[in-house]
Structure formats: structure tokens, C-alpha cells
Chains A and B, each alone.
Chain A
């Protein structure tokens, strides 16, 4: 404490300034911990880059423009769901119903358009509203009935999937039977050489940009982090945490419903039998992106990277000729490592 800054205490006492700086010398490992703590995107980006390098060595086709475009298309739906999932996990919650809301919304949109003959745009809007309502229902249960998010969404997961079967009668609706707008998200927006980008990917990226902004630059974003970090502290600081939580589940529902539209474009159909793996895949992407399952910590950009890691691994292992059954093992190991690192970073010392 060599430099005593001017000013300080006005009273005449022994300590002229209130100086709290007494950080001991850190070991190299502690420095790594600090760097990772201060830059949560670093870890996920490193994994993504290493994976891309490794797979491009393993397969000459991996780095081709066409293949990278395919990876982007493959991750679009999961990335969208993972965006909503990120918001929920940031509040120290978890959304097991993400996939169910997505699939059920797509079934509702398609059935409203084809069975009820509602115009495509209107059917989409109704589907978006219903998806939002499903998210809001989760939020209502979490905030008003005070149930843990895990239990709430475990229950609604079951409810939405079952209603999904009732509404769809387990029938897939083909894209050709729907109004064109409903599968428009699957069509190519632009091409750069062999690298083609669908409208769905563009919508997904725009949503990431929007929520990146909202979380970093608005009071709502700060309140989401504070609520997830320490809900009691947030409440004492005057934040209406119930409102924050409700808004997060509601917005997540809307994001999943947009995901439903993107899903129909990707599959060129609305199928009630997809999506069972979407929940866990979305959580995987969030965790790989460095967002903490304990809440209050994470970035939506990390989730985008996390979703890309999943996509790169699935695609790369396939191109490298690894049996598809090993994909799960690879992703699983990554998840465990990511969570382990998160725990370690959280223990960062003052």
C-alpha cells in the first residue's frame, strides 16, 4: 500500500484513508482462474477453435464453405432454444420444457393453418402467442406457486408433450401442405460461395444480438443477473424479483415459439415426434457456453459458441468417420469438463 491517495477520511484518526487493497501474490493457476473469471467467453472460444482445428486435420471436407454452412443450419434450432434456456438458467432456474414448448408450438401453428384454414401469417402469430403463454405459465408457477423451476418444467414438459400428441394425433404435417410462410425459415437468404445461410439462421442471430444488448445494456438485464445471483439480495435492493422471473419465462416461451417456426423450416414439416433431445441439447449448449447452472453468470454469446461446439463436434466426428454413437460420449465429457471448470472459477479468491 505504497501510494496513499489524497482525500480520504475527514476525521483525525490513525487511518488516513480506507485502503482495502491487500491482494497477495497469485500463483500462475490462480491467475488463469482470474482470467477465466474475468473473461467467461475465453474458455468456450478456445474449445471451439481447437475443435475446428482438430476436425479440419481429421477431415479435409470439414473446413469447406458448404460444410460450415451446414453446421450453421444444424445448430440453428438448438441455438435458438439455448438462447431461451440461457435466460432461464441465468436466473438460477432450468427449463426442461424448452423442447416441448417448441415442438408443441410448431404443431399448433401447422394445425391452425392447415386444419382450421387460418392464413399462414395469422397462424404463426397465434402460435407465437400460445408459445409465449406456455412460457408465462411456467413463470406463473415458479413465482406465484413458488415451486422450484426444475419441478415446474418437469411437469409442464409432460403436459405439453401429451397435449402435443392430442392435438397432432401423432400425425406429421408436410411442409408442402402448409402455407409457404410457415417453412420460409428454411429457405436460403444468401450465399457466399458454397456457404449458404437460411432465414432461420438470420432470425436466430438477430435474436442473439437483441438479447446480448438487452442483458448488457438495460436495467432488465442487470436485474436478471442480480436475481439469479442472489435473489434475496436482489429483493432487498428493491428489485421486484417475481416480475423479473415471470418476464424471463415469458420471453423464453416466445423465443421457443420462434424456434418452432425455424424448426418447421429446417424439417420442412411439423412433426410431433421430434424434440425429445432438444431440452438436454439446449442445456448442453448453455453449459458449454460458460453460463453457470447456479445462475447470475453467463453470456448469450457464450451460448452461441456452445451451440456451435455441439454442432462442430457432431458434424466433425461424423466426417472423421467416428461411429455416431460416440458423439454422445464426446459431448458428455465436454459438459462435465465445462461444469467442473465453472465450479472452479466460482471459487475465485478475493
Chain B
């Protein structure tokens, strides 16, 4: 480890165990090193923003955490136990839900179908076991519940096709899906990138709601104002390794950008 790990000043209570932890992950593609030393800690009930310049390895790091990439070496611990994800499905089954930048929603299917895509529920009894009939009623009411729990209250018609929704609404569906099924961690990749100001703010509110419901969130974003608005801690990735961890209180946006780009020396971990 290149940095002394100081885990004392986490927000809230004193010393806490990270929910999700990466230790010394390495990923190389031939001569290209995507992750030189991937370290990351995510604590309960926090929003951890991961920022970094293009090519800093943040996407590779996140992909390793959500099973989309298998690191060459290093360790991932979920609740203190080592895990080895071979594909995104295994990470999901372990409780890590990821909202990809591409959203991974099927535009032609409705909101309820999308929430349950890949984990549809069948009816009980013969209808379900022999006729494979889906329990649409239950899935719809559950979908409705999840959406309203996140305060996305105006999506009255849960049977509405996702393609007829705005960008922010689609994002809300994707976030609701991750919050509904993520039992441990929710990872959001550039959730506000394609959105207008208003919708972006609403999605930020969604992210806070997810955290306030007890799910820790990893937020990957290029949008500094958004990061500084919602993050509890900010993990700065640079040249394939963790440069430092700061908080919105300890540093300004321009200082963060300076660290990110190498213009300023990274301070020791503040958070």
C-alpha cells in the first residue's frame, strides 16, 4: 500500500468496518496498466464519490467491484469476507447493484417489467410452475412501492413503457431497481451525465434517498458540483491508484481538481 491507511475519521461513529473494500487490485491489458493498485473502502451509510481524470482507472476499479472485470491480483472484501465475482450477475446476487451509464433498461418494456428484468417472479402453484405464469400483479405493486419509496411519486402508470420517459425518469427507474434489489451496495456510474440541471438535481436527491434508506452508495462522476453536493467522502483516483481521500468540507472543488490532475500534491487521507 502506497498510502498509510487512516480509517479513524469516518463520518458518524468511530471505527467502522467497511461494507466493501478493495485491496491492492491490479489489472493489466498487455503493456497497459488499468489499475496499478486499486484500493477503496466504502463504509455503511455513506456516499463515496470516485473521481479521476480519464484513464485514471476509476472505471476499471468499479468494474472489478461489480463483477464486470476480473482483476489479475488483489482482494475484494464484502462485509469483511473475500469475494471473487466472475460476472455481474454474481456481484448482484451478493447484493451489489450497479447502475451503468447506459442504464441497462429495456426501452420497450414497462417500468415494472424493467424493475424485475432478469429476476421475474412467477405465480404460486401450478400456474407458476407448469405454465410459468408471471405474477404481474405482485410485481407491479412492488414496483409501485419501490418507486414511491424513493419519492418518484408522479410515475403513476407503472405500466408505462420506459422509452416514453424522460432521461431523468429513466435514471429514476434504474436507481429504483438498484435500490430495490441491492442489499449491500449501490454503484452509480455517471448517473447525471446525460441530464439537464433540474433532472440532475432530482437524481441527486434520489441518491441521497438511497443512502438514507441505509444503502451505501459509490458514485462515479465527472460533475464536480454534483460530487461536492452529495458525497460524504471523495476518493480521488490518479494514474491507476488511489491518490487520496478527501471530504467536501476539507477541500474545495478546485483543490480536488488540482489533486486529480496532478497539479497539486495529494494530501494524506483526510477521510
Is chain B found bound to chain A in the same assembly? yes
Stretch of B48-56, B70-78, B160-168, B250-258 lying at the A interface? B160-168
> Least Cβ distance of B212 to chain A in Å?
5
Q: Contact mask B74-112 → A, CB, 8 Å, 1/0?
A: 000000000000001100100000001011111111000
Q: Are A222 and B122 in contact (CB under 8 A)?
A: no
Residue of B nearest to A292 (CB): B108
Q: Are A17 and B166 in contact (CB under 8 A)?
A: no
> Least Cβ distance of B124 to chain A in Å?
15
Q: Are A348 and B164 in contact (CB under 8 A)?
A: yes
Q: Are A20 and B109 in contact (CB under 8 A)?
A: no
Residue from A19, A22, A234, A239 in contact with B153 in the complex, judged by beta carbons closer than 8 Å = A19
Q: Are B120 and A222 in contact (CB under 8 A)?
A: yes
> Least Cβ distance of B2 to chain A in Å?
33
Q: Are A236 and B107 in contact (CB under 8 A)?
A: no
Q: Are B172 and A18 in contact (CB under 8 A)?
A: yes
> Least Cβ distance of A318 to chain B in Å?
38
Q: Does A297 contact B (CB under 8 A)?
A: yes
> Least Cβ distance of B235 to chain A in Å?
22
> Least Cβ distance of B65 to chain A in Å?
15
A15 CB contacts on chain B under 8 angstroms: 201-202, 205
Could you tell me the distance between the alpha carbons of A322 and B154 in the complex, rounded to whole angstroms? 55
Q: Does B208 contact A (CB under 8 A)?
A: yes
Stretch of B11-19, B34-42, B144-152, B237-245 lying at the A interface? B144-152
Q: Does A225 contact B (CB under 8 A)?
A: yes
Q: A18-B172, A20-B169, A219-B122 are in contact. Are A237 and B208 (CB under 8 A)?
A: no
Within 8 A of B (CB), among A301-350: 348, 350
Q: Are A296 and B166 in contact (CB under 8 A)?
A: no
Q: Does B193 contact A (CB under 8 A)?
A: no
Q: A7-B151, A9-B205, A9-B209 are in contact. Are A20 and B172 (CB under 8 A)?
A: yes
Could you tell me the distance between the alpha carbons of A296 and B209 in the complex, rounded to whole angstroms? 32
Q: Are A350 and B166 in contact (CB under 8 A)?
A: yes
Which of B117, B120, B163 has the largest number of chain A CB atoms within 10 A? Answer: B117
A20 CB contacts on chain B under 8 angstroms: 152, 154-155, 165-166, 168-169, 172, 199, 202
Q: A217-B134, A222-B134 are in contact. Are A296 and B172 (CB under 8 A)?
A: no
B208 CB contacts on chain A under 8 angstroms: 9, 11, 13
Q: Does A1 contact B (CB under 8 A)?
A: yes
Could you tell me the distance between the alpha carbons of A285 and B216 in the complex, rounded to whole angstroms? 51
Within 8 A of B (CB), among A204-226: 213-214, 217-220, 222-223, 225-226
Q: Does B206 contact A (CB under 8 A)?
A: yes
Q: Does A37 contact B (CB under 8 A)?
A: yes
Q: Contact mask B160-190 → A, CB, 8 Å, 1/0?
A: 0101111111001000000000000000000
Q: A5-B154, A222-B109, A229-B109 are in contact. Are A18 and B133 (CB under 8 A)?
A: no
B155 CB contacts on chain A under 8 angstroms: 20-21
Residue of A nearest to B163 (CB): A348
Q: Does A148 contact B (CB under 8 A)?
A: no
Residue from A1, A218, A228 in contact with B132 in the complex, judged by beta carbons closer than 8 Å = A218
Q: Does B232 contact A (CB under 8 A)?
A: no
Could you tell me the distance between the alpha carbons of A182 and B214 in the complex, rounded to whole angstroms? 65
Which of A5, A18, A230 has the largest number of chain B CB atoms within 10 A? Answer: A18
Q: Are B89 and A238 in contact (CB under 8 A)?
A: yes
Q: Are A18 and B206 in contact (CB under 8 A)?
A: yes
Q: Does A10 contact B (CB under 8 A)?
A: yes
Residue of B nearest to A15 (CB): B205
Residue of A nearest to B90 (CB): A238
> Least Cβ distance of B4 to chain A in Å?
33
Residue of A nearest to B169 (CB): A20
Q: Does A171 contact B (CB under 8 A)?
A: no
Q: Are A7 and B148 in contact (CB under 8 A)?
A: yes
Q: A218-B134, A236-B88, A239-B118 are in contact. Are A19 and B202 (CB under 8 A)?
A: yes
Residue from B122, B152, B164 in contact with A18 in the complex, judged by beta carbons closer than 8 Å = B152
Q: Are B151 and A17 in contact (CB under 8 A)?
A: yes
Q: Are B108 and A229 in contact (CB under 8 A)?
A: yes
**Chain B contacts to A: CB under 8 angstroms:** 88-89, 92, 100, 102-109, 113, 117-120, 122, 131-134, 136, 148-155, 161, 163-169, 172, 199, 201-202, 205-206, 208-209, 212-213
Q: Provide a sorted-by-A list of 24 A–B residue pairs whose CB atoms are within 8 angstroms.
A: A1-B154, A7-B149, A9-B205, A10-B209, A17-B153, A18-B172, A18-B205, A20-B169, A34-B164, A37-B161, A214-B132, A217-B134, A217-B136, A219-B122, A219-B132, A225-B108, A233-B103, A233-B106, A236-B102, A237-B106, A238-B92, A238-B117, A348-B164, A350-B167
The 7 tightest CB contacts between A and B, nearest first, are A238-B118, A236-B104, A21-B154, A8-B151, A5-B153, A226-B106, A219-B120
Task: List 18 other contacts, CB 8 Å, given A18-B206, A226-B109, A229-B106.
Answer: A1-B154, A7-B151, A8-B153, A9-B205, A9-B212, A11-B212, A15-B205, A19-B202, A217-B132, A222-B109, A222-B113, A225-B108, A225-B109, A229-B107, A229-B109, A238-B117, A239-B117, A350-B165
